[in-house]
Chains A and B, each alone.
Chain A
Amino acid sequence: DAGVTQSPTHLIKTRGQQVTLRCSPKSGHDTVSWYQQALGQGPQFIFQYYEEEERQRGNFPDRFSGHQFPNYSSELNVNALLLGDSALYLCASSLGGTVNAKNIQYFGAGTRLSVL
């Protein structure tokens, strides 16, 4: 059973550039959430996609946007990169929309983004 997969594993960009990160959820899962994890910190929620729509959003600027495809895979886009965007970006998948109140998240290994 394939778990959550993310690509690429590492990425180096310069300030002002744009980046796209990709995520394939665990088999059978239909909800994808994105988190930013700074060094030495816990994951911080960016947004969640369900039924191809952004359902919930954390405290992140509009430079962060996303998309979910009919096969439930998802992309995270970040525009106008800043040095402070350097972090590990984690994707997590879960099952069910509002029905699944347990909200158990299964994480991928992440994409390490470095902005120079």
Chain B
Amino acid sequence: QQPVQSPQAVILREGEDAVINCSSSKALYSVHWYRQKHGEAPVFLMILLKGGEQKGHDKISASFNEKKQQSSLYLTASQLSYSGTYFCGTDSKGNTPLVFGKGTRLSVIA
């Protein structure tokens, strides 16, 4: 039950906004977002717990719609440093192994 991410890839100019979606076919306890740059470790961005919360830091935020089992990652006023592949990882019961989507490749150009 791998979550489905969309879009697969997106190209932005600096300052533009983007939304990355993550959908699951099963009930979720939490959704985790990571960013991975080429040749580097995936870096934890944020976690959203069931209950339909929204959170964020700086210009990156996310929401979790528990009824739809869908999470969205919002990147506003994108910077060159935002480039990378974004993965969502889902946990169905709390402390169960994360199941990751295939990723969304984000490229920010000047």
A103-B30, A103-B94 given; A41·B44 CB < 8 A: no
Tell me which of A45, A90, A98 contacts B95 (CB under 8 A).
A98
Complex alpha-carbon distance, A10 and B47, angstroms? 31
Interfacial chain A residues near B91, Cβ < 8 Å: 103
**Main SS at interface, chain A:** loop
Complex alpha-carbon distance, A54 and B13, angstroms? 46
Total A-B residue contacts, Cβ distance less than 8 Å: 65
Complex alpha-carbon distance, A33 and B43, angstroms? 15
Q: How many residues of B contact A (CB 8 A)?
A: 26
B49–A33 CB distance below 8 A = no
Within 8 A of A (CB), among B79-110: 87, 89, 91, 94-103
Q: How far is the CB of A2 from chain B (nearest CB, A)?
A: 13
Tell me which of A3, A43, A102, A109 contacts B100 (CB under 8 A).
A43
Tell me which of A42, A45, A90, A97 contacts B41 (CB under 8 A).
A90
Interfacial chain B residues near A48, Cβ < 8 Å: 97
A102-B30, A105-B32 given; A43·B41 CB < 8 A: no
Q: Which residues of B contact A (CB under 8 A)?
A: 2, 29-30, 32, 34, 39-44, 47, 49, 87, 89, 91, 94-103
Further pairs besides A43-B89, A101-B95, A104-B32: 19, Cβ < 8 Å: A40-B102, A41-B102, A41-B103, A42-B100, A42-B102, A43-B42, A43-B87, A43-B98, A48-B97, A58-B97, A90-B41, A90-B42, A101-B94, A102-B49, A102-B94, A102-B95, A103-B94, A104-B47, A105-B44
